[in-house]
């Protein structure tokens, strides 16, 4: 078991290396190098000074030396220096990352909870009005852009009804105490997590319904019924557990999209995560920051994918045997 875990984690390394190389290529594709942007912002025009700076930043060296140096520095978790925040890129990203991870986890939970429940309900009551209603809702939420859903939910629940705050993560100047703070964050989290999660809930509901119907036809379900288990126990303990496998696969494949989606949702709800940071950096052409977010985002997805694969092993012992 330990060997499988190690082997799966080892596969992450070449991927991250490739992302770093991709990054480097992108930097060099950019019209006007980072060096030009930097010197322009500092208004340096003296040729001797420029030459010296070129030497200091290593821009005068051949491309492959720069690539090797870049890989080496990223390996040491040195993603460069953000002249805009006047702090190392890694520190700025690490400050903002927890908020994004909270949002992603909350959205994934909403998606799983709503999607799996709807899928199970639709499959148990197949071809009834419930099934049709759930399928219809899934089709609609699958087509609605999450940011638009977020804005519409803000209009209804925050502006008209006033149930939830319009944006942000914490109430400014709210009372202290860890518990009150957690409650406050959760209150702010409801709308963004729902807006982001409903799109994925739609996918999960469709997949869950199909995979439940598939499992219902299998022999062991008939056996379970024949030995006198109650219908609800058959559904929960036998069918659902087996039907969940495709959902886990899907979850692993979609983590990258959820991270991307949270960028947009953060912009809608002014959530202080790496999405807002990325957006600001893209606008100000702060490339070290943009590429830092890309590298760390990819690393996050790669590690999460490996985790999902290992989770798969736990859920389905048959895979381990192979």
Partner 1 sequence: MLRLGIDFVRRFARNRAALIGLLLVIVVIGVALAAPWLFPRNPLRIVGRPEIWPFVNSRYPLGTDSLGRDIAAMIAYGARTTLLIGLCASVTATLIGITVGATAAYFGGWVDEMLMRFTELFQTVPNLIFVLTIVSILGQKIEYVTIAVGIVTWTPIARLTRAEFMALRDREFVQACRAMGMGNLRIMLGEILPNALPPVIVLSSLVIAGAVLFESAVSFLGLGDPNVSSWGRLIGDGRTLIRTSWYICAVPGLAIMVTVLALNLVGDGLNDALNPKLRDR
By CB under 8 A, tell whether 124 contacts partner 1.
no
CA within 13 Å, CB half, 253: 9
> Which residues are CB-contacts of 33 (< 8 A; sequence separation ≥ 6)?
27, 59
The CA distance from 56 to 156, in Å, is 55
* Contact stretch for partner 1 (CB under 8 A) within 86-94, 152-160, 169-177, 235-243: 152-160
Cβ count near 44 (within 10 Å): 13
**How far is C-alpha 42 from the geometric centre of its chain's CA atoms?**
36
Q: Which of 126/180 has CB closer to partner 1?
A: 126
CA quadruple 133, 137, 138, 143: dihedral, nearest 10: 150
Q: Contacting partner 1 (CB under 8 A), which of 142, 157, 216, 312?
A: 142
By CB under 8 A, tell whether 155 contacts partner 1.
yes
By CB under 8 A, tell whether 161 contacts partner 1.
no
CB 103 within 8 A of CB 87: no
Q: List residues bridging with 69 in a β-sheet.
A: none
Q: State in angstroms the smallest separation of the CB of 214 from partner 1.
A: 8
CA-to-CA separations, 290 to 38, 56, 103, 274, 286, in angstroms, rounded:
15, 22, 20, 10, 6
12-29 helix and 287-315 helix, angle to the nearest 10 degrees: 160
Q: Contacting partner 1 (CB under 8 A), which of 164, 204, 271, 287?
A: 287
Size of the site for partner 1 (CB under 8 A): 48
The CA distance from 261 to 195, in Å, is 10
Q: Contacting partner 1 (CB under 8 A), which of 147, 164, 200, 271?
A: 147
By CB under 8 A, tell whether 290 contacts partner 1.
yes
The CA distance from 54 to 37, in Å, is 13
Q: Contacting partner 1 (CB under 8 A), which of 5, 9, 15, 221?
A: 15
Q: List residues bridging with 82 in a β-sheet.
A: 87
Q: Which of 189/274 has CB closer to partner 1?
A: 274
* Contact stretch for partner 1 (CB under 8 A) within 45-53, 109-117, 179-187, 274-282: 274-282
Q: State in angstroms the smallest separation of the CB of 215 from partner 1.
A: 13
Q: State in angstroms the smallest separation of the CB of 120 from partner 1.
A: 19
By CB under 8 A, tell whether 226 contacts partner 1.
no
Q: Contacting partner 1 (CB under 8 A), which of 112, 240, 264, 277?
A: 264
The CA distance from 85 to 76, in Å, is 21
By CB under 8 A, tell whether 139 contacts partner 1.
yes
Which pair of structure tokens corresponds to residue 103? Answer: 């949002």
CB 291 within 8 A of CB 23: yes
Q: State in angstroms the smallest separation of the CB of 136 from partner 1.
A: 10
Q: Which of 109/257 has CB closer to partner 1?
A: 257
Q: Contacting partner 1 (CB under 8 A), which of 38, 84, 285, 308?
A: 285
By CB under 8 A, tell whether 159 contacts partner 1.
yes
CB 188 within 8 A of CB 170: yes
Which pair of structure tokens corresponds to residue 224? Answer: 């379970």
Q: State in angstroms the smallest separation of the CB of 240 from partner 1.
A: 20
Residues that bind partner 1 (CB under 8 A): 14-15, 18-19, 22, 26-27, 29-31, 139-140, 142-145, 147-148, 151-152, 154-155, 159, 253, 256-257, 259-261, 263-264, 267-268, 278-279, 282-283, 285, 287, 290-291, 293-294, 297-298, 301-302, 305
């Amino acid at each position: 078991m330990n060997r499988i875990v190690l082997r799966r984690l080892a596969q992450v390394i070449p991927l991250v290396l490739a992302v770093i190389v991709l990054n480097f290529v992108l930097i060099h594709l950019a019209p006007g190098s980072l060096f030009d942007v930097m010197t322009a912002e500092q208004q340096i025009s003296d040729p001797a000074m420029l030459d010296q700076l070129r030497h200091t930043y290593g821009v005068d060296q051949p491309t492959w030396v720069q690539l090797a140096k870049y890989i080496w520095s990223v390996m040491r978790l040195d993603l460069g220096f953000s002249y805009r925040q006047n702090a190392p890129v890694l520190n700025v990203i690490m400050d903002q990352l927890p908020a994004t991870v909270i949002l992603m986890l909350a959205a994934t939970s909403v998606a799983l909870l709503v999607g799996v429940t709807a899928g199970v309900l639709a499959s148990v009551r197949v071809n009834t009005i419930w099934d049709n209603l759930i399928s219809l809702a899934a089709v609609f939420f699958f087509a609605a852009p999450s940011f638009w859903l977020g804005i519409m939910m803000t209009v209804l629940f925050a502006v008209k009804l006033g149930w939830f705050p319009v944006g942000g993560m914490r109430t400014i100047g709210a009372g202290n105490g860890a518990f009150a703070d957690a409650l406050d964050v959760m209150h702010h989290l409801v709308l963004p997590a729902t807006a982001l999660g409903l799109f994925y809930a739609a996918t999960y509901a469709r997949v869950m319904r199909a995979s439940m119907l598939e499992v219902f036809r299998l022999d062991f379900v008939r056996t379970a019924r024949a030995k006198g288990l109650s219908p609800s126990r058959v559904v929960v303990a036998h069918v659902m557990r087996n039907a969940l496998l495709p959902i886990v696969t899907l979850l692993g494949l979609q983590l990258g999209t959820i991270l991307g989606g949270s960028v947009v949702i953060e912009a809608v709800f002014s959530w202080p995560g790496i999405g807002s940071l990325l957006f600001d950096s893209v606008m100000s052409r702060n490339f070290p920051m943009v590429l830092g977010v890309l590298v760390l985002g990819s690393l996050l997805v790669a590690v999460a994918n490996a985790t999902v694969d290992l989770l798969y092993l736990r859920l389905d012992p048959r895979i381990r045997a192979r």
